[in-house]
C-alpha cells in the first residue's frame, strides 16, 4: 500500500506567510549553506519561489549556486524587522525558457534605475544568473536573543567637538527687512 503524506493546516499557513512576506518585502537576507554570514538581496516572488538576479553588472550572488541550499530571512518593508526565516533549495533558471521569461518580467518591475530597461532581459541572459530559491522545509523559530554582534575594534572615530560657530548658524533667526 502506497503511503501518502498530507499537509497540515499549519503547513499551508506557513507557506502563505512565506509567500505574503516575500511578495511585500523588497529585500531579504540570504545565507548560503556553509557561509558564515547572510547577505541582503533584492528579489521578486514568482511561481511559488523567490527569484534573484545577480552577477555581471547586478548584485553579487556570493556562494549561491544551483543544487545548494540557503536560509532566507524576510524582513518587514516598513519596520525592517525579521518576519520569517526558512530554508530554500537553489535552482538555476535557464535563459530562453518560459520560466526565464516569466522571471525576467517579474524582476524587471523590481529593478530600480536600470540603465537598459528595454533590453534588460538580453543583458541578463549574457552576463547574469537568475536563481530560483524555493521554500523547502519548516520555518525556523524566532531567535531568543538580540543577535547583535560586538563591533570590530578600530582606531577610527567620528566624534569631534563641534565648531563654536555652528549653533549660531543653525539656530540663527531670520531677520525681517
Tell me the pLDDT tens digit for each residue of 64-87.
999 999 999 998 888 878 889 999
String of DSSP letters for 103-168: HHHHHHHH-TT-TTGGGHHHHHHHH-EEEEEEE-SPPPPPPSS----PPPP-S-----PPPTTHHH
As a whole-number percent, the residues of the chain with pLDDT over 70 amount to 92
pLDDT value of position 104:
93
Q: Over 80: is that where the pLDDT of 37 sits?
A: yes
Domain boundaries, the chain: 9-141
Q: Does residue 47 or residue 151 have the better pLDDT?
A: 47
Sign, Cα dihedral of 18, 20, 21, 24: positive
Query: Backbone dihedral region of 96: left (phi > 0), alpha (psi from -120 to 50 degrees) or beta?
Result: left
Q: Does residue 120 or residue 151 have the better pLDDT?
A: 120
Phi, psi of 87 (to 5 degrees): -80, 155
Confidence of residue 175 (pLDDT cuts 50, 70, 90): low
Q: Over 90: is that where the pLDDT of 109 sits?
A: no
pLDDT value of position 3:
46
pLDDT value of position 145:
78
Question: Of 23-27, 40-44, 156-160, which one has max mean pLDDT?
Answer: 40-44
C-alpha closest to that of 82 among 132, 13, 147: 147
Residue-averaged pLDDT of the chain: 85
d(CA 129, CA 125): 7
Q: Over 80: is that where the pLDDT of 159 sits?
A: no
Assigned CATH for 9-141: 2.30.110.10
pLDDT value of position 134:
94
Amino acid at each position: 500500500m502506497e503511503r501518502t503524506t498530507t499537509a497540515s493546516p499549519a503547513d499551508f499557513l506557513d507557506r502563505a506567510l512565506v509567500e505574503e512576506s516575500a511578495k511585500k518585502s523588497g529585500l531579504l537576507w540570504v545565507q548560503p549553506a556553509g557561509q558564515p554570514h547572510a547577505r541582503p538581496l533584492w528579489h521578486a516572488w514568482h511561481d511559488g519561489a523567490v527569484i534573484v538576479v545577480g552577477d555581471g553588472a547586478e548584485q553579487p550572488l556570493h556562494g549561491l549556486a544551483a543544487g545548494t541550499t540557503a536560509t532566507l530571512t524576510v524582513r518587514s518593508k516598513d519596520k525592517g524587522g525579521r518576519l520569517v526565516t526558512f530554508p530554500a533549495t537553489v535552482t538555476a533558471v535557464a535563459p530562453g525558457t518560459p520560466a526565464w521569461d516569466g522571471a525576467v518580467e517579474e524582476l524587471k518591475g523590481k529593478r530600480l534605475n536600470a540603465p537598459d530597461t528595454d533590453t534588460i532581459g538580453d543583458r541578463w541572459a549574457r552576463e547574469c544568473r537568475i536563481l530560483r530559491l524555493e521554500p523547502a522545509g519548516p520555518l525556523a523559530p524566532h531567535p531568543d536573543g538580540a543577535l547583535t554582534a560586538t563591533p570590530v575594534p578600530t582606531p577610527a572615530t567620528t566624534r569631534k567637538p563641534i565648531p563654536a560657530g555652528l549653533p549660531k548658524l543653525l539656530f540663527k533667526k531670520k531677520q525681517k527687512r
